[in-house]
Structure 1
Amino acid sequence: MAVGGRDDRAVTRGRGAASNPQGRFESRSREAFDDGYDRPDDEIGTPPLKTTLHVERARTIIARNESPDIPFTQSINPYRGCEHGCIYCYARPSHAYLNLSPGLDFETQLFYKPNAAALLEAELRKPGYRCSVISLGANTDPYQPIERELGITRSLLEVMARFRQPVGIVTKAAALIERDIDLLQDLARDDLVNVALSITTLRPELKRTLEPRAASGAARLRTLRRLADAGIPTMVMFSPVIPFVNDAELEAVLGAARDAGARRASYIMMRLPYEVKDLFREWLELHFPQRAAHVMSLVRQMRGGRDNDPQFGQRMTGEGEYAAVIAQRFRLAAKRFGLIERDGFGTPLRCDAFRVPPQAGDQLSLTL
């Protein structure tokens, strides 16, 4: 049965991906087949999938990179996989390294690092550590729903506050990050934190399929206001820009974010690495079948004729006429709303406040 032009039987309620394709490195293959049992004609959709949590005992916690178009060299990901279920998420292919699917497995088979805070403290205490900004949740959202029970992100922020370690946070969450306003205010007093709220759409009906378990655009705007009122530097990221899906909202999102207290803004064009391109095509055919071909035509136009271009310097902004139009619209909107254009965390963060707090057993100083 089709509703509104899409086949609801293929939609898994509350999830972004419509399927669970085999990962690149899986040692076994699987294939669906008809077992001969018919479903009732009025059965629409598939049963909700449960989220399964797995413990990951990490040996290190700070990941480092030398990418020239990423504004940080250090990052921490408390979780692998993300329950938000954003269909466009560039992190989906990372689940293939766990012998799992970048599709529904990425949204339902989640890994958490219970020893993350202890590992961070140990790394910050190393004599050779040199302070630089840490990006919290560069791959998957540090404030996804399971953070409510596990509290790993908060435990990391507690360590950073004691060490005066600068941190940049990017999230699509709302109420959960408000829980940590006390820690964020403490860090903000020394210019040690910036929070970027990623707002992809203000339309609830689009959000429900595009990023089904993320906070609504309205909720994210309320969080921007509460963070700004608490004195925490905030910025808005219109990310990702998806041709002919959410691109018309660019100005509306920037204007609403400015009214909510944001003073800086950035944007990123949609990236479709590895398996993401097939998952996104499947999503388009389910939810926007009449415009799917046009959307992918514009994607290829800004990616040099391919679905994805991983080249440094272009992967975030794209190329060609369409990408140029988006860049111009962003510049004009940012100027109109008095927003500072940023491609990093927003407010410059300090590293000179970093300190290693004493711990039990440390030798006392003889200096009076």
Structure 2
Amino acid sequence: MTTTTPSPALTPAVADIHQALAGVLDPEIHRPITDLGMVKDVTVGPDGTVTVGIYLTVSGCPLRDRITADTTAAVSALPGVRTVRVELDVMNDEQRTELRRSLRGDATEPAIPFAEPGSLTRVYCVASGKGGVGKSSVTVNLAAAMADRGLSVGVLDADIYGHSVPRMLGAGTGPTQVEKMIMPPRANGVKVISIGMFTPGNAPVVWRGPMLHRALRQFLADVYWGDLDVLLLDLPPGTGDIAISVAQLLPHAELLVVTTPQSAAAEVAERAGAIALQTGQRVAGVVENMSWLLMPDGSRTELFGSGGGQTVADSLSRKVGAHIPLLGQVPLDPRLREAGDAGTPLVLKTPQAPAAMTLRAIAESLAARPRGLAGCLLPVSPS
């Protein structure tokens, strides 16, 4: 049996291999590995064997298999390539420093990109007056729906004491630290960060105001979010330290108030939205959750009363002097809870469910809203 050796004309050029590698994106940073200095070297053997050396950002990179597979697939598609070998190495401290500079610049103290003038990222703070109204469920489903539409979306779980977003989004891996940058994991197409990724087991977080502010600032500045279209913050209930810190760190963020139809819940939700009067933030709208239970015969049972969402929207409209819309009424659906427990938001798992369709419609209205000052409380007062 004789073995034929490819002619030199069929042997791929190193330049062609580098061009193919330019289409391989780092799974965490989402930039070409050629731009990030991750390609160590490329050699081409006379028999069509291509060896590609790749620098991982950190030792034990959780996505090393993904990088290997993507590199192999990209190079294997070139004519004349018979075998692809990927050899992994790890960046040294100097290389990681250069990577950080290429992504974040030379500033010693990282800035919050969403607070910079000209930032095009829409920031929505999902707030509620009290717990148990489904604020986190609304947050993760809106995020998943927006990501499913092709937007680049991030979720910051700012509910430090009651963090639940990682489970509900199905984030099974933790973040990766590259020098002073934190790379957030991606789940169901959404980048996510939470204090729950840094605490052992189900340990409680026992912090006071200054620590909360510091953690929130670190999540906003030290995490490499990349170029986001939308960032959603799942705030803790009420108008405490986190709400105040968000107003200071993200003065252009917009509030999204979640309530139930119950009158008592609506009254408390009004307070969460009315914080905009003191912070100068804009109220994007109101979402009424658990509006009714759809019965098998097609009728509706209003377990928690009715009208709470519209009441909150009307009250906030009067207080801020601008129209605050009721963005949608989400039906009570056990599948919404089941999907969250399973780590796949309902808008992805059962998109035809009435609750999922309503949440998708809300996500589309928020993603499509034009920028402007209408409804924005400017920090000025009459002389």
Scaled by the length of structure 1, the TM-score of the pair is 0.35
User: TM-score normalized by structure 2?
Assistant: 0.34
